[in-house]
Copies of this chain bind each other. A is one copy, B any other.
Amino acid sequence: MMDTGMSIDTGFNSERMQEMEALYSDALLKDVVPFWLRFSLDHKHGGYLTCLDREGDVYGTDKAMWLQCREAWMFSRLYNALEKRPEWLEAAHLGVEFISRHGFDADGRMFFLLTQEGEPLRKRRYLFTECFGIIAFAEYARASGREEYLHRAKELYRLVVDLYRKPDALEPKVFPETRLMKSLAAPMMLLATTQELRAFDTDPLYGIIAGETSREIIRDFLKPDEKAMLETVGPNGERLDIPEGRCVNPGHAVETAWFLMREGMFQGDEMMVETACRGLSWSLELGWDDDHGGLLAFVDIEGKPPERLEWDMKLWWPHTEALYASLLAYHSTHERRFLAWFESIHSYAFARFPDEEYGEWFGYLHRDGTTANELKGSTWKGMFHIPRAMLNIMLLLREIMDREDDDTIKEG
């Protein structure tokens, strides 16, 4: 057994919190954001170039719409949450303009992949691109003050909700006459999208959808008997005895856990927060690799062979999601085990993912922690999970420290 980086829980004193806040703030503002600002803006055609090699050079020019929307969201979010830097707003504008001009099909749905110039290459059956479009438009509307983008976000949201409620509307991958399945990603994405939009707008629909999706996740995907948040279940949460039905995607599961925690806090529903923290614990325990440290990409809950080739790789995004989720769980429950998880994942991730030489993070490690691919961006890895987690962690640490200062003042 190797040193997996599991740290002994030494508590989280204010010195450690300050140190962490500085570390995440520096990583975000001196490393990650500058990398994308410098290399990804496509000033010629608009939007972002995300297929970047280790040094930031472009190796592919196609524009994946998930990443166009996510990067536009991220720059807008930095502007709204952290500081009114004009270059962040301009960078957000570059993406939102490109998305508006080229991202939509005649039926109101969005394309999945465009050329550098904006010609459509692919459209897919899933609604995820639209979800990322909604959050990009809404966050940019706040940053720019351009109300019309909030309207576009709301329009698109209604389209997504309509299609979500009519499962027959989009052709499923597997014939529904033979097998009905549903995946965690769908309610998870709709919940997160609703939470984002709700921050800028009031509409009774948000409460209804956030309620429906969070209840659906808890009722159908969280399995106390198996101590697992499953990736795929039957239409009423039935366990499916197929490889997909035994599969846990620890990254998705911990991401869902923090969306649920956030929902519980918003609704003042302590039970939901507790349930979410339980789901987080299960997912970290299932996903953690006792031999080499880090979170596995896929796990079969019965220990049978996972069919995904990359099942034992260590990807960047499950780690960023686990970092924020465990810190939020610690903040919500004051349970030290979540702090221990935060520290373990932090040491694992910061020892392996950041590229000390050219900046930003590697995305793909072998099981043993060695780098499997040096790319910084692709049609899947872009400016999203890493800066979002860093920003969320910074803001949460500041909140905790502020409250402790207040407590000290009150006690003093």
A243, B49: Cα distance in complex, Å: 14
Residue of B nearest to A309 (CB): B310
Interface residues of A toward B: which range?
A: 35 or more
In the assembled complex, the CB of A360 is this many whole angstroms from the nearest CB of chain B, namely: 13
A311: CB under 8 A from chain B?
yes
A residues 216-244 in Cβ contact with B at 8 Å: 242-243
CB-based contact A313/B305 at 8 Å = no
CB-based contact A378/B305 at 8 Å = yes
Across-interface contacts of A310 in B (CB, < 8 A): 309-310
A378, B311: Cα distance in complex, Å: 14
In the assembled complex, the CB of A395 is this many whole angstroms from the nearest CB of chain B, namely: 32
In the assembled complex, the CB of A87 is this many whole angstroms from the nearest CB of chain B, namely: 27
Known: A60-B243, A243-B59, A366-B366. A375 touches B178 (CB 8 A): no
CB-based contact B53/A378 at 8 Å = no
A119, B54: Cα distance in complex, Å: 47
Q: Mark A28-69, 1 if CB is under 8 A from B, else 0.
A: 000000000000000000000001011000011110000000
A73: CB under 8 A from chain B?
no
Residue of A59, A61, A119 most packed against chain B (CB within 10 A): A59
CB within 8 A of A53: which of B119, B122, B304, B309?
A: B304
CB within 8 A of A372: which of B178, B312, B375?
A: B312
Residue of B nearest to A114 (CB): B178
A residues 347-382 in Cβ contact with B at 8 Å: 364, 366-368, 372-375, 378-379
A205: CB under 8 A from chain B?
no
CB-based contact B373/A305 at 8 Å = yes
Across-interface contacts of A304 in B (CB, < 8 A): 53, 59
Residue of B nearest to A111 (CB): B175
Residue of B nearest to A246 (CB): B59
CB-based contact A121/B178 at 8 Å = yes
A80: CB under 8 A from chain B?
no
A166: CB under 8 A from chain B?
no
Residues of A within 8 A of B (CB): 51, 53-54, 59-62, 113, 115, 119-122, 173-175, 177-179, 242-243, 300, 304-307, 309-313, 364, 366-368, 372-375, 378-379
10 closest cross-chain pairs (CB), A and B: A305-B375, A59-B304, A309-B310, A119-B178, A60-B243, A121-B174, A307-B378, A121-B178, A53-B305, A120-B175
